[in-house]
Amino acid sequence: MSLPLQLLRLAVAVSFLGHGLLALANDPGHLALVTGLGCAEPLARRVLVVIGAFDVGLAVLVLLRPWRPVLLLAALGALLAAAAWPLSGLTGPGGFLARFPDWVAPLVLWLLLGRRSPRWR
């Protein structure tokens, strides 16, 4: 795998690891996001733990072996999370735009790995 692909893979993994750790720690911003979407705080705290574990797991999988289905799942999850910020009322459209790289990076990696080798299809 080329150096640019390795760096993109690392960027995706670190992004998901960082977001996952924030969710596991019940970060106040993330807690406000989930409660802003209509969850009561006790449920929101549990939801954040599940989301955090999911994100950390994705980060590990991307580092160990960037399977294309995992990358597509990562892109979809990050797209939904980016859309959740303005939908919760915590940010305007700029909140979605600021999180554009969070879902585009795994999508680009998914696309590039599909073009590089038939074994990733």
Q: Tell which residue, 99, 89, 97, 93, has the closest CA to residue 38.
A: 89
In eight-state DSSP terms, residue 85 is H
**Which domain does 52 fall in, by range?**
3-116
Q: CA angle at residue 74 from 119 to 24, to 5 degrees?
A: 135
Residue 81 falls within a domain, yes or no? yes
Query: Does the structure show a pLDDT above 70 at 117?
Result: no
The pTM for the full model equals 0.88
What pLDDT, in 10s, does the model give residues 31-87?
Answer: 999 999 999 999 999 999 999 999 999 999 999 998 999 999 999 999 999 999 999
The Cα 65–Cα 71 span in angstroms is 10
Residue 121 forms part of a structural domain? no
Q: What pLDDT sits at residue 1?
A: 81
| 27 in Cβ contact with 81 (< 8 Å) | no
The count of domains in the chain is 1
pLDDT band at 121 (very low <50, low <70, confident <90, very high): very low
CB neighbourhood size of 89 (10 A): 12
